[in-house]
């Protein structure tokens, strides 16, 4: 890995960039950095260790992510990078050395994910300990409001807020909302059997699963909260995941899924698709509408 030498912390190229943030938060001398994006960098420290440094997407985002990583790690199931520290704008974590995705790693990941979900949460919508109520999923605000009835909670706090926002932005037309509103009305019959609140990653698309050089899957960038375990599995289906069938096999070896879970994938994908419609536009709105129609079929 090639780093750009930026000298000691006080002479960094950017006084509020990732190198300076890593030095300030860890109290260590920074020897170089490699920018991955405007908000993400790998930073080399004085002992040869490298860390990942990430800038916040919005107020409270750093605290929410740090609390989420720690909450997932506390379950001791799936591997999660250690949090070295943070301030209001920057988060410093371990850097995950990546390797190939393999079927054995996928089975281990599935087993660990089932155990993570079984670690539970105090309530639906419960934020991680120490995490803010006003959190984020990706770049979108996500409010963690606690509830006990999943169909009602999912409609009121996950689907309808993003539907309203998509309509306000002109991404979904008012004439198109009826099919999604109909899903919300029918959620008590569509949701399947009631389950206890699971400890969710909350934004479990393929990009937030890193396949480590150690032969294990690692979780990053959570929108962690208490929810329905099928939501995480639906996210893995949404954008594809290497060896997904092996992940599911490992999951079911540890915790069988409720009958009809595969028929509810579209129902659980409705929330992330509406989030993407708000953030990225019409193409995802059309996918959300299609998911709503599948959920009703």
Rounded Cα distance, 112 and 11, in Å: 43
Give 176-209 as a 3 state SS string.
HCHHHHHHHHHHHHHCCCCCCCEEECCCCCHHHE
- Taking each helix axis from N to C end, the angle separating 265-280 and 160-168, rounded to the nearest 10 degrees, works out to 30
β-pairing verdict for 40-45 and 50-55: antiparallel
Rounded Cα distance, 207 and 5, in Å: 29
H helices within the chain, ranges in order? 18-26, 61-74, 103-118, 150-154, 160-168, 178-190, 229-238, 244-254, 265-280, 282-296
Rounded Cα distance, 271 and 288, in Å: 8
Q: Of 14, 57, 203, 249, which is the active-site residue? A: 203
- Token code pair at residue 222: 């959570």
* Catalytic status, residue 203: yes
Active site residues: 203
């Amino acid at each position: 890995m090639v780093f750009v030498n930026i000298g000691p912390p006080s002479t960094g190229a950017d006084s509020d960039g990732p190198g300076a943030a890593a030095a300030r938060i860890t109290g260590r001398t920074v020897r170089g950095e490699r920018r991955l994006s405007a908000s993400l960098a790998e930073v080399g420290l004085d002992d040869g260790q490298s860390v990942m440094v990430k800038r916040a997407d919005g107020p409270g985002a750093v605290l929410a992510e740090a609390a989420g990583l720690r909450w997932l790690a506390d379950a001791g199931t799936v591997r999660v990078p250690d949090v070295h520290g943070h301030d209001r704008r920057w988060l410093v974590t371990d850097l995950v050395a990546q390797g190939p995705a393999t079927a054995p790693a996928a089975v281990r990941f599935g087993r660990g994910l089932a155990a993570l979900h079984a670690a539970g949460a105090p309530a639906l919508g419960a934020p991680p300990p120490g995490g803010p109520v006003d959190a984020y999923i990706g770049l979108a605000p996500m409010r963690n409001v606690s509830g006990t009835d999943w169909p009602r909670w999912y409609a009121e706090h996950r689907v309808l807020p993003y539907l309203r926002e998509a309509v306000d932005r002109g991404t979904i037309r008012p004439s198109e909302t009826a099919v999604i509103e109909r899903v919300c009305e029918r959620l008590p019959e569509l949701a399947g059997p009631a389950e206890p609140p699971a400890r969710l990653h909350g934004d479990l698309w393929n990009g937030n699963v890193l396949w480590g050089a150690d032969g294990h899957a690692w979780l990053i960038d959570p929108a962690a909260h208490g929810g329905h375990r099928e939501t995480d599995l639906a996210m893995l289906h949404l954008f594809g995941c290497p060896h997904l069938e092996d992940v599911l096999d490992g999951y079911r070896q540890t915790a069988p899924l409720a009958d009809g879970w595969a028929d509810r994938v579209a129902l659980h994908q409705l929330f992330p698709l509406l989030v993407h419609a708000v953030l990225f536009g019409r193409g995802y709105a059309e996918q959300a509408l299609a998911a709503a129609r599948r959920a009703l079929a």
